[in-house]
Amino acid sequence: MIIPLHAKLTDAELRELEEIISEFGVRIQPIHGHERSIYAILGDETSQDLINRIEGLAFVERVDRIQAPYKLMARESKLSGHRVKVGTKTLPGDFCVIAGHCTIDPKQKAMFLETAFAVKEAGADMIRGGVWKPRTSPHSFQGDAKSLDILVEARERTGLQINTEVMDFDQLKLCVDAKVDCLQIGARSALNYRLLQQVGEMTKNSSTRVLLKRSMHMGPVSEFILAAEYIVAQGNPNVMLCPRGTVPTIEGFRNSPDESITLLLKERTWAPVVVDPSHSVGKAVYVPNACLAAAAYGADGILVETHCQPKKGTGDDPKQAITPDVLAQIIKDTREIHKFAARYQPKDAAKAAAK
Ligand code: PEP
Ligand code: MN
C-alpha cells in the first residue's frame, strides 16, 4: 500500500510510479478516500528492490507491506506444517532442552563428559558445547578444533545428539564431516548472509538441524525471519529460531531479554522457537526464571548453558552456567508450563501446532 506525501498523486507522479511498477510485473489500484488517496499494489509485493524504488520517490511518504517479505518461512508457505526433530522430540508440539558447556576446553575432557552424562540424566534432549568461540577479545580463549572430537565422543557415549557453533566455512565443513546433528549460528554470525547460505547449501536434503540465534543488533522480527529464510532457501528447512537477548542491555542483565518475541515469531512463521535464556540474562541465578518465562511465551524449547562445576569452566560458564541438578528441576517445570502455554498461543500458531 503506497501512502503519498500529499493528499493525492498528480497525473505525472502516477505515471512515474506506474513505470516503476510495470518493471516488476505488478499493477497499481488507486483508492480515493474523502480526504486522501492511497495506492494498492496488486500482485507480488515481496521484492525489496520494488519497495526501495517506490520509497525513493520524493512524493511517496511510505510503503506499508501487506505481504510478508519472506516466502518460505511464512505461515502460508508450503513448508507450514514442517516439523523439526531434536532427539526424540518433534517441534512444534513437544518441548526440547539443549544443554551443556558454553565452551569445551580440550584440557578438561573428563569434565565435559561428566556434564554430558549429567544433562542426559537431568532429561536434556541434546548436548551443546562450543568448539570454536566468538570472543569479544582476540586475547581470550578462541576454542580448539580438538574439542570437536570430545563432542563427538560425548554423543557416542551418551547416545544424545550434539550441537555446536560454526563461524566460517572451514568449521562448517569439519562439522558436516563429523555429522554434527545441529549447527548453531551465533548472534554475531546471524547477519553473515553468505555463511547462512553456505550452511543451507552444505546441509540441504539432510537431517542436519540449524539453530539460528537472533543477532543482538537485529531490530524488526522480519529481519530475524529473513535470516532463517537464507538457510531454508538453499534447501534445509530444519531451522530453529533462537532469541538470546539484544542490545541495549538492561542494567543487571547481560542483554535485554527477548523471549517475549516468541509470540510474534509463532504468529508469523512455522519454524520452532528455542529460547536461549543463558545469554539473555547472563547470570546463573536469573536463568531458571528466564527458562520458565520462555516456556510461558510458548517456546518449543530452551538452550541452557549447564556445567557440572561452573566455577572451573571456561568462557561464559563460570558466570552463567547452571548445574545439572538445577537443570533437572527446570526441565520438569518448563514441560508443565509448555502444556499450559499452548492454550494461549496466537490462533494460527496453535492450529498449526495441533496439525
Ligand atoms: C554461545 O551459545 O555460547 C554463544 C556464543 O552464543 P551467542 O552467539 O548467542 O552469543
Ligand atoms: Mn556462551
Q: What is the mean pLDDT of the chain?
A: 95
Class at the top of the CATH hierarchy for domain 2-63: alpha beta
Check if the beta carbon of residue 223 is closer than 8 Å to that of residue 195. no
Rounded to the nearest whole angstrom, what is the distance from the C-alpha of residue 124 to the centroid of ligand 1?
A: 19
Average confidence (pLDDT) over 147-166:
98
pLDDT at site 346: 77
- Whether the CB of 102 sits within 6 Å of ligand 1: yes
pLDDT at site 65: 85
Summarised one tens digit per residue, pLDDT across range 226-272 is 999 999 999 999 999 999 999 999 999 999 999 999 999 999 999 99
User: At residue 353, does pLDDT exceed 60?
Assistant: no
pLDDT at site 354: 55
- Whether the CB of 279 sits within 6 Å of ligand 1: yes
The angle subtended at Cα 171 by Cα 128 and Cα 232, nearest 5°, is 75
Q: What does the alpha-carbon distance between residue 15 and residue 263 come to, in Å, rounded to a whole number?
A: 42
The residue behind cell 580440550 is: 106
Check if the beta carbon of residue 298 is closer than 8 Å to that of residue 345. yes
Summarised one tens digit per residue, pLDDT across range 285-297 is 999 999 999 999 9
pLDDT at site 34: 86
**pLDDT over 70 for what percent of the chain?**
97
The reported pTM is 0.91
pLDDT at site 29: 87
Among 102, 195, 211, which is best to mutate for testing ligand 1, by the most ligand atoms less than 8 A from CB?
Answer: 102
Rounded to the nearest whole angstrom, what is the distance from the C-alpha of residue 251 to the centroid of ligand 2?
A: 19
Provide the pLDDT confidence category of residue 113 given band limits of 50, 70 and 90.
Answer: very high
Among 137, 165, 249, 281, which is best to mutate for testing ligand 1, by the most ligand atoms less than 8 A from CB?
Answer: 165
pLDDT at site 339: 95
Looking from the CA of residue 189, the nearest atom of ligand 1 is 8
190 secondary structure, DSSP code:
T
- Going by C-alpha positions, the residue among 227, 164, 224 that lies closest to residue 194 is 227
Summarised one tens digit per residue, pLDDT across range 52-98 is 999 999 999 999 988 888 989 999 899 999 999 999 999 999 999 99
> Which of 40-44, 141-145, 190-194 has the least mean pLDDT?
40-44
Average confidence (pLDDT) over 109-120:
98
pLDDT at site 350: 59
Give domain limits for the chain: 2-63, 84-350
pLDDT at site 215: 97
State which of 18-22, 37-41, 161-165 shows the largest mean pLDDT: 161-165
Summarised one tens digit per residue, pLDDT across range 260-314 is 999 999 999 999 999 999 999 999 999 999 999 999 999 999 999 999 999 999 9
Q: What is the 3-state secondary structure (H, E, C) of 207-252?
A: CCEEEEECCCCCCCHHHHHHHHHHHHHCCCCCEEEECCCECCCCCC
CATH 3.20.20.70 fits 84-350, yes or no: yes
Whether omega for the bond prior to residue 272 falls within 30 degrees of 0, making it cis, is no
Which cell numbers hold the place of 212? 539460528
Residues at Cβ < 5 Å from ligand 2 ion: 102, 316
- Whether the CB of 187 sits within 6 Å of ligand 1: yes
Q: Which residues pair with 211 in a beta bridge?
A: 184, 240
64 Cβ contact list (under 8 Å, min separation 6)? 1, 3
Write the residue with the smallest CA distance to atom 10 of ligand 1.
Answer: 187
> Which of 120-124, 173-177, 212-216, 344-348 has the least mean pLDDT?
344-348
User: At residue 149, does pLDDT exceed 80?
Assistant: yes
Measured from the alpha carbon of residue 214, the closest ligand is 1
Q: Which residues pair with 97 in a beta bridge?
A: 302
- Whether the CB of 130 sits within 6 Å of ligand 1: yes
Average confidence (pLDDT) over 87-112:
98
